Each structure stands twice: as C-alpha cells, then as structure tokens.
Structure 1
Amino acid sequence: MMENVSPTFCSGVISLLRLVPYETKKKFEYISPSWKLACSAYAENSETLKIIVRPKTTCTRWEYCFVGTKYFSLEEMLKKNRNMTRINNVVFQYGKMAHQQFREISKEELKTQLIPYVAAQLNRFSTLQCDLERSPETEDVLGAFYKASSNRASFTSITMNYQGQASEDFLAAQIEDSASCSVILRGTGWPITVKHHLLTLIAGKAYYLNVCETDIDLDPVTFASIFNLWLKKKTDSHNKTSFPQVSDFTAMKQIRPDLQIPKDREFTGVEWSLGEKTTAETDKHRLGFYVHQKDTYISFH
C-alpha cells in the first residue's frame, strides 16, 4: 500500500510531520520512487530557522532577524507553507551582530504577530537563550513568549533569567516532557518555589543544571532533598548541578555522616559513598559536594 501512493500524497504526509530533512530521508526515501521524490522536494523547499529578537533603546520598538537560507521578513514567513518551516533556535539578546539583517517591529506587533508565529513553528526539540535584563517592557514581551511556547515544544537547552511569573510557569511546563535538557538560570528575583522545579529537573530530565549566576541559594534542606534523590538512585548518574558558592559546610556535614568519605585538610567540601556500582563491585557511587572558584558543584560519579 505505501509503495503505490501518489507523489502528492507523499509530499503532504512528509510536510505535515515537519521532520528535519535527514529524518525524512531516513524514514521514507527507500519505500518507493514517489516517497524518494517527495523527500528530495521537502529537503529542497523546507527551512530550518533561527530567530533573534532584541530591544531598541526604549524597548517600545524592537528588532528581529530570521536566519535561514537568507534573512527573511515576518511578512515573507507568513506567506510560506507553515508545514515547510521549523524554528529550532530562539535568542533574545542585546548587541550588534555583524552580517545579520534586522528588521524593526513595534512591541505590539511583536507580541501579537511575531511571537505567536514563532511559538507555532517551534521544532519539537529547540534551544532557547535569553540574556535580556529584566524590566517592565522585557517582562511583558518575554512573558508573552513564555505563555505562547510553554506547551508548543520541548527545549533541550534553556538559558534564561527571571522575567516574571511566566518564566517559572514556562520552566514548570518544560519539566513535564521526557526529553533530557541542559538548564542555565541567571539573574535575581527567582521565587523560592523555583527550588521545587530544580529538584524535579534533577530527579528527571536535566543532565546539566547551573544556577550559579542567580540568587538561588543551596540551603541544607534543598541539598538534603538532592542527597536523598541520589541515594535512592532517582537521578541521572551523569548529572552535574552547580549552585552559588556555599561558604559554610557545617550543616552539610550533618547529613548522613555514616556515608561520608574522610578527606584531608586541603579538601574543601564533603563527599559521600552511595553504594556499589552495578558495573564493578569494588567501585562506589559517590556524591561529591565541592567548591570550585565561585561556584558549588554537586556531581555524581
């Protein structure tokens, strides 16, 4: 049945799936000549895009740049077949970027036209980078993006600062998906409730979590929760988590002293043995809690 369908049908199926070209080729090209022809047409006509958004001086006017086979305008993108376009990288940042053609847009058009389009065209696994300082204007715009994209895609790499409640809601929505991810949080203002989401990330999908450039402290209760996740083997064995520097390890040393590994005087931190590895009876799971430069690293090995 799959071998005898028309090229038009094949093209329709492939465009609806919105896969990247190499995935399309892998799944369909060898079924029949019609599917091969449709795969070639899709690879030639589809676009995988990066979108960069930045505020102008007053933040009432903004600029954007779609980066693909050329620098597209929003008007051009709206005319394209949406099944043939995917956005896999979203960047909100300041600064001049050489050789990139930016177009001006009002804040209202950004919120009502560009952001909804970007959210709808996000690829299944995308990356997000937000380096904008928090202000009422940026909070308004980024809040609109976070609300529009929360349930649209699973981001595999997230770098963001706090831009109001929508930031935390967005992070919580990302946790629900099964894809593993790298998360870097920055800036101040993160509410205490974000620690719940960090614990969920550590217990689930995050293979790298860094909050060193925030005001999120690693208090003994939070660390005790992380410790118990590792002890129960409910976290990835390759997980690495970084918090702002902890200067006083007194409270940490009270956590399961029976499992702690003695260290010499030059060692700053605490290390625990967490049981046998399945790969070698003589090798131990170890939870390390270290200070390195300005950051506190928690590693499991």
Structure 2
Amino acid sequence: MILDLAAVFAAMLAIGGAILGVVGVAGTTKPPGPPSAAARRLRRWWTGPSRNRREQRARQTMMIGAVVAGAAAWLITGWPAAGLIVGVAVPGLPWLFNSGRMERRALARLEAVEAWTRRLADIVARGIGLQQAIVATNASPPQLIAREVADLAARMQSGTEPVLALRQFADDLDDYTADQVVAPLMLHVSDRSEGLHEVLTDISRSIAAEVEMRSTVDAKRAGPRFAVKFLTMMTAGLLALGLLNPTYLKPFGTFTGQMLLLFLTGFYIFLMRMVRNLSLPPERARLLPPIDAEVVNA
C-alpha cells in the first residue's frame, strides 16, 4: 500500500514537472497581471517575512534543507509520514523556539525607530525643512534601521515624490508603530502644517513607553517559552528513542498507523501554535496599507 502511494506521488511530481517545463519554455498567451493572493503567500513562504536579502537567503536554504531532510527520512525509514514530519520540523522548530528572540528583535527595532524619530524632531526644531532633515538623519542613523533610512534619504535626494518615498519607507519598516511616525510626515508634506517638532516628540515618547511596557511583559513570558521548549525537546527525544528501538514504533508502520501519526503530529503542531501565539503580543494591522496591495486592489 505504501509503495503504491509513493509510486502515485512520484508520478504526479513527474507530470507536474513536465507541465511546468513546457509552460516555462513555450510560455503562455495570457498577459502578465498582478500576482494572485496564492502567489504572494507562496512567495512569503519561500522568502519569509523579512525584507533583508541575507535573511531571505537563509530562509531559502533552510527550506531546501527541510526538503532534503524529509526525503532522507522517508528513504531511511520507509515511512512517508516520517519524511513529512521531519520536513515540517526543520523550519518548524526554529519558528517555535525563536518567538522570544523575535519579540526582542522587534523591541530593538522599535527603539531604533524611536531614536530616529527623536533625532528628526531635534533637526526639524532648528527650522530645517523636512526633506533636508531626513537626509541629515542619514549621517548617523540607528544601526537596526540604517538601511531603511539610507534608502529613504537616497529617494529624497534623487527627486522621488516625497509622499511616495515615505510610503516606501513605511513598507520597508513594515510595522504599525512605524506607520504612526510616517503618517504625520506625509501630512506635513501635503499641507506644510506647523508643530511637526511637537508631534514627533510626542510620538517618540509614546514609542518609548510602548517599548518599556512590552519589555516588562516579555520578561514575564520567559517561563512559558521555556516550558514549550522543554516539552518539544522531550517529545523529539522520545521519537529518537523510538527510531533506535524499531519495536517501539512498529505499530505506526501500517497505513492506519501512518495516518494516526500524522494526526497526532498535526494536533501537536496546532497546540504549539496556540501556545506560541499566546507568548507573543497580538499583531496589529498597519495604518498605511502596502503600496503593492493598493496596486492589486486598484
């Protein structure tokens, strides 16, 4: 039964590869359009949420490693379920264990945004125009957002329309709090209103208070995160022990056993995802929609 399923799966892959090869060589007559929602999700799965090219390459390397590890597990054990579980575990374990590091990194980026906002407010208070002030902040930007600030300054100096440059800056930062900084800058470009220094100063103080509050909450979540890591490593250890003792996992060698193993794994992943979501602050939707989203909806 398992060999028959493997043969069917291999045939489907071969046929799909042949179709993709023909389409790639011959092309299609349909004009290119905006990427679909499924294509955007697939690209996000392949490159990850980060816009940093180095992190995207690391993500792609990990996904390739997951496929290779899953295939090796399938060949060694003869269980398709084992290959699928190993393939999911390779990117899944870092995703589960790195929740605390992700929150600390997000807080560090918020601190960088706060420092940049405060610096911009100080320069604007001297009577310097907004565009010149933004370019001036590129002289000593916070390290964690140095690339984003440099890109914004370059767009300002190259003659890009200021509102568009600021929208691209907001997309680069991709954060709700950063949108709170960019939105009044866009309004100032449009109506040249006064009081920008006071607005940026208030926003800077608000960001500093948010960082302090989230840091306190994050420290209290260290215990539950350690419990999740401990339980996951214990489960992985039991599975490794079962592989060393084939009699222990022998009942899972049947088709029914494979389905049961996949069900238990899926239920475990569901529980760990819930626990992980509880250990992170709720994700807030951005104030400024991404530029590519507006293009798609237009």
- TM-score class, shorter: under 0.3
Q: Bigger radius of gyration, 1 or 2?
A: 2
Length-normalised TM-score, structure 1: 0.23
Length-normalised TM-score, structure 2: 0.23
Task: Work out which structure has the larger RCO, using CA pairs closer than 8 Å and 6 or more positions apart in sequence.
Answer: 2
Q: Which has the higher helix share?
A: 2
